[in-house]
Amino acid sequence: MSVINAMKNQEQKTILLVEDETVTMMVETHLLKSFGYDVVPAKSGEEAVQIAIGNDKIALILMDVNLGDGIDGPEAAKQILLKRNLPVVFLSSHTDKEYVERIKGIAGYGYVVKNSSNVVLQSSIEMAFNLFDAQAAMQASEGQKNAILNGITTNIALVDKELKILWANKAAANSVNKRSEDMVGHPCYTFWGDPARPCANCPAFMAIQTGQSEHKIVQTPDGKIWDEGGEPVFDAKGNVIAVVEIAQDITARKKVESALQQQAEELRARNDELSRFNRVAIGRELTMIELKREVNDLCGKLGEPPRHRLAEDKTAPPASTEAQA
């Protein structure tokens, strides 16, 4: 690869080269520039920390493990990573286990033995950049997912086969006055249900047992009513490895539904009462009409005018007769 092409591919990324030996620094600087990188030198761990924190152009650190007096490479890397998220590739002349152990626990992106071929060093740097970019993209995606899930008011938690919480959104944490991180590692029934044991009808527990989506309305010991669901998560072989537990507090909704149900029952009772009264009133009215008709018929037989005016009779009875009625 030519220098020009390398520079184009790498977009002139800047590498902080931390090396205490002057000759080695010169050789490695020339080599890195031939790969197409800009190089900023640092001859000690303390200087490396100062430059890395203050120079935003630094995209990767090529860190010698042994730096003579002062802090060594692993310690310098730790201090830098507390302030900035950067890929770190370690350099060393040693392959002993004790040197490898010194960089354990540090977010390193490679360990290159000095005097390795140029191809090994260049490939290690390129892989470190690719790995760093991939992790950054994954973190961004994870951040977007968490933002979406934390914005949902429904309780959402991921639990393993032992019902221990692997992750919980803010709604789930707020429902039990906890922080999400404080819930991780604890069984879900510690917070929602019997702290001593899982409920046999728990949708999450049932989803683990059956490998199918489960749904149920449950009531916790605190009197709250929950609309719960359990969605199994499978591995490549089809085994259940976790369950997404979804729960919504529907206590308030159930109270409203209960109040509406009671009102409906009261309205039905009153309607039935009115219907009975109406039937009695109509019966009485029909009886009165029949009596009036019989009186009018009797008056006709006696040669007298009818005393009552009925709906089918448009002739009004005499005023005197009406008055007698």
The answer to whether the CB of 94 falls within 8 A of the CB of 71 is no
- For 176, 294, 302, 303, the CA distances from 317, given in Å and listed in that order, are 82, 15, 15, 13
- The values of phi and psi at residue 29, to 5°, are -65, -45
Question: Please, which pLDDT band fits residue 324 given cuts at 50, 70 and 90?
Answer: very low
pLDDT at 97: 67
- For 50, 52, 72, the CA distances from 58, given in Å and listed in that order, are 12, 6, 20
Closest Cα partner for 199 from 180, 211, 191? 191
The answer to whether the CB of 35 falls within 8 A of the CB of 12 is no
Question: Please, which pLDDT band fits residue 311 given cuts at 50, 70 and 90?
Answer: low
pLDDT at 322: 46
Dump pLDDT digits (tens) for 237-276: 888 888 888 888 778 877 877 777 888 788 788 777 777 7
Dump pLDDT digits (tens) for 105-160: 676 677 788 878 888 888 888 888 888 887 777 666 666 666 666 666 788 888 89
| Statement: residue 227 has pLDDT above 50 | yes
Dump pLDDT digits (tens) for 55-74: 999 999 998 888 888 888 88
Residue with tokens 């197409």: 36
DSSP state of 213: -
- For 199, 235, 286, 323, the CA distances from 319, given in Å and listed in that order, are 85, 99, 24, 6
pLDDT at 118: 85
Average pLDDT, the chain: 80
Query: pTM for this structure?
Result: 0.47
For the chain, helix, strand, coil in percent to 5 are: 50, 20, 30
| Statement: residue 323 has pLDDT above 50 | no
Q: Mutual orientation of helices 3-10 and 22-34 as an angle, nearest 10°? A: 80
In one-letter notation, the amino acid at residue 32 is: L
In sequence order, what are the residues at sequence separation of 6 or more whose Cβ sits closer than 8 angstroms to the Cβ of residue 176? 183, 191, 192
pLDDT at 2: 44
Dump pLDDT digits (tens) for 38-49: 999 999 999 999
Calculated CA dihedral for residues 10, 16, 21, 24, nearest 10 degrees = 0
| Statement: residue 76 has pLDDT above 80 | yes
